[in-house]
Amino acid sequence: MDIVDAHHHVWRTKDLPWLSGPMVPRIFGPYEPIKRDYLIGEYLTDARAGGITQSVYVQANWPADQVLAEARWLDELNRETGWPTAVVGSADLFSPDAVEVMRQQAALPIVRGTRLQLHWHERAEFRFASAPDRMKDPVFRRNVAALEELGWVFELQVFPGQMTDAVALVAAVPDVTFVLVHAGMLTSRDEDEVRVWRAGMARLASLPNVVVKLTGQGTFVRRLDAEFISFVATETLGWFGPDRAMFGTNFPVEKLWTELPPLVAAWQDALAHLPPADQAAIFAGTARRVYGLPN
């Protein structure tokens, strides 16, 4: 089966203060094994073992003044190796200068969108944003609206409790495609958590400019949990369908608890009951359409 990895990273620790400096609490737990360079050669070894044929790199939190350097480095890798196939970059979308930064990135044909992580949680180690409601910021809203002119996607990363604000954001810019990261960040099968997640996912799915990534399901359980993957896949596809859903590995973060081939196999098993055309959309077709990848 043809497989596109719609969400992965490669990195040099010297570029990433959170990797090169002291250990700090992170959403995915202790990360000593990946506190090192993870370059394109190692990613390709992992990816090819799992049957990956194309990939989309998603920004790895370089400092805000280095995001253009990040995109240029990835463009060089693409020209040298053919990988990654496309890039989702980053910019400080709370800054009035963000559009100019993104226009400079857009000069590189490999760049297809931007991500600014907006997730906030009561647990400090689960937070990235400084407050739960940053999506309401007017400067941020204007910068997201500018993505229409660039033809870019916005990678939306929020927890279930933030999805009401996310719905308002998405509805306000109907001509921008939003890619919901990690299937809406469900942290557990706790009944109250699932209830909030289901309500938010249904509302986001009702907006046609949202697609979803089936990624990152080890982030909170911190293991390869086939039952959890199957639950998230079944529920998510019930709202979004195969033409608005895509698979991704979140490597090397998931490398903390699994190798890539068993991760791919767990998702293949979870989707094995679907018609072949639906599986083909989830594993390749949707990502190719959303990110403008070659067939």
Q: What secondary structure, in 3-state letters, does 106-150 show?
A: HCCCCEEEEECCCCCCCCHHHCCCCCCCHHHCHHHHHHHHCHHHH
pLDDT value, residue 24:
83
pLDDT value, residue 21:
87
pLDDT value, residue 16:
95
Which segments in the chain show pLDDT lower than 50?
none
pLDDT digits (tens, 9 = 90+) for 58-112: 999 999 999 999 999 999 999 999 999 999 999 999 999 999 999 999 999 999 9
Give the bridge partners for 153, in sequence order: 113, 177
| Residue position matching structure tokens 């949707």 | 286
pLDDT value, residue 22:
87
Judge contact between 214 and 221, C-beta under 8 A. Answer: no
Query: Cα separation of 71 and 232, whole Å?
Result: 32
pLDDT value, residue 255:
97
pLDDT value, residue 188:
96
**For 3-291, which CATH superfamily applies?**
Metal-dependent hydrolases (3.20.20.140)
pLDDT digits (tens, 9 = 90+) for 167-195: 999 999 999 999 999 999 999 999 999 99
| C-alpha dihedral sign at 41, 42, 43, 47 | positive
